[in-house]
Amino acid sequence: MRVAFRPALRRVTGTQLTRAACIGNFPARMSTAAAAQTVSSPANPASDELLDSERRQRSRQILQNAVAATAPRHDWTREEISAIFYQPLMELAYQAATVHRRFHNPSEVQLCTLMNIKTGGCTEDCSYCAQSTRYQKGTGLEAKRVETVESVLEAARIAKENGSTRFCMGAAWRDMRGRKNSLRNIKDMVAGVRAMGMESCVTLGMIDAEQAKELKEAGLTAYNHNVDTSREFYPSVISTRSYDERLKTLGHVRDAGINVCSGGILGLGETSEDRVGLLHTVSTLPSHPESFPVNALVPIKGTPLGDRPPIEFTSMLRTIAAARIIMPATIIRIAAGRKTMAEDQQAMCFMAGANAIFTGEKMLTTECNGWDEDAAMFGRWGLQPMKSFRKLGLRAGDVAAGQV
Ligand code: SF4
């Protein structure tokens, strides 16, 4: 296949060219018509061969440099990310495992529990989400009031007893404007979770600088706000809040000294190029997210993406492995959709750099692998739960300074 399609690589867009050049694969967005033209296009096989060989050499060099790095870098070009992302998968996973062992203890995986502290009634239109009011007719999900501080802390206590070291609280809100009482309660929840010795994380939609400061003062460890996908594909998924608004919230979080948790969802209908775009966005932030959740879409009937086919496992693995190489110190979390992954697939992800999972009774509105199931899996694979605060505060230079 590669030989037959090679001449056409000069006709496609720059991004496609870069991607194809990296490994000589077929660009995801290239049409069948374009491919057909390609086969019959005249070419000079010798010079094509040379170009291909130069590109492969360059992409190998980019990978080697990335794997040899002793500290995270923030100046990735999209082309460099493509060169890494499109490596042959086995090679990519192997190199990611090498980086993982240098920056992390490969036998440790963090257990996190995510509780929905305010279900449904959200005014946003995220096409994958059961909690949007726009899809309520189809999903039948009823909005609930905010959970009490006591009930949340009780859930956190149970999570801790079962081995979770990070407790995340999610509220289905667009933003925190006019929610002074709720913010006060959430700060109590955060403080209560921290008092148990756990990391605390919240996801409350958009927040401003002042709200971020208040949450920091309450002891918040991390704030989750996913960018979801690439800047280009994002408008196909959400129309009620822009990509830049998401990045602005991440800026407030970072400026307040709270760790940023921001990741993506695979299986929304995006292409591989969009996954490269997602990785480019998060890896070129002023500092890498402390946490990068990788979700596999769980299609929910009644939402616009309710009929999407499942994402291939290889796409999950490729994204995790590339993320590990590009953001070596970040905690990579297998988030929604883990329930659909076989145990050996999960193990492959742990090998290639994933080092956190969500566990417990439920993950927001989707099914979640339970604590007992995960404990049994850890036993079979020789994994152990990561302690709280193990990786926090890791910044560029820490690895070189021997702090990991
Ligand atoms: S993903 Fe969050 S912001 Fe989007 S609709 Fe669901 S609850 Fe609202």
The pLDDT, as a whole number, for residue 363 is 59
> What distance in angstroms lies between residue 395's CA and the mean position of ligand 1's atoms?
30
- Centre a 10 Å sphere on the Cβ of residue 25 and count the other Cβ atoms it contains: 16
41 occurs within a structural domain: no
72 occurs within a structural domain: no
106 occurs within a structural domain: yes
Rounded CA-CA distance 136/134 in Å is 6
Report yes or no: 352 and 316 within 8 Å, Cβ to Cβ: no
Q: Which residues pair with 166 in a beta bridge?
A: 112, 199
Torsions phi, psi for 244 (to 5 deg): -65, -30
CATH code, domain with 173: 3.20.20.70
Measured at the alpha carbon of residue 345, what is the angle toward residues 163 and 350, in degrees to the nearest 5? 50
Rounded CA-CA distance 261/38 in Å is 43
What is the tally of structural domains in the chain?
1
Domain that holds residue 269: 101-383
394 occurs within a structural domain: no
User: What average pLDDT does this structure show over 174-180?
Assistant: 90
Extract the tokens encoding 179.
């929610």
Local confidence band at 234 (pLDDT 50, 70, 90 cut-offs)? very high
User: What average pLDDT does this structure show over 5-18?
Assistant: 34
Q: What is the DSSP letter of 228?
A: B
Q: Is 368 annotated as catalytic?
A: no
Q: Whose CA is nearest to atom 4 of ligand 1?
A: 126
- For residue 36, pLDDT over 70 is answered with no
Across the chain, mean pLDDT equals 86
Q: Which residues pair with 266 in a beta bridge?
A: 296
Q: Whose CA is nearest to atom 2 of ligand 1?
A: 172
> What distance in angstroms lies between residue 131's CA and the mean position of ligand 1's atoms?
6
- For residue 87, pLDDT over 50 is answered with yes
Q: Which residues pair with 385 in a beta bridge?
A: 109
- For residue 237, pLDDT over 80 is answered with yes
> What distance in angstroms lies between residue 64's CA and the mean position of ligand 1's atoms?
39
Pocket residues: Cβ below 6 A from ligand 1: 122, 124, 126, 129, 131-132, 172, 205
112 occurs within a structural domain: yes
Local confidence band at 10 (pLDDT 50, 70, 90 cut-offs)? very low
Query: Is 129 within any annotated ligand binding site?
Result: yes
192 occurs within a structural domain: yes
Query: Is 368 within any annotated ligand binding site?
Result: no
80 occurs within a structural domain: no
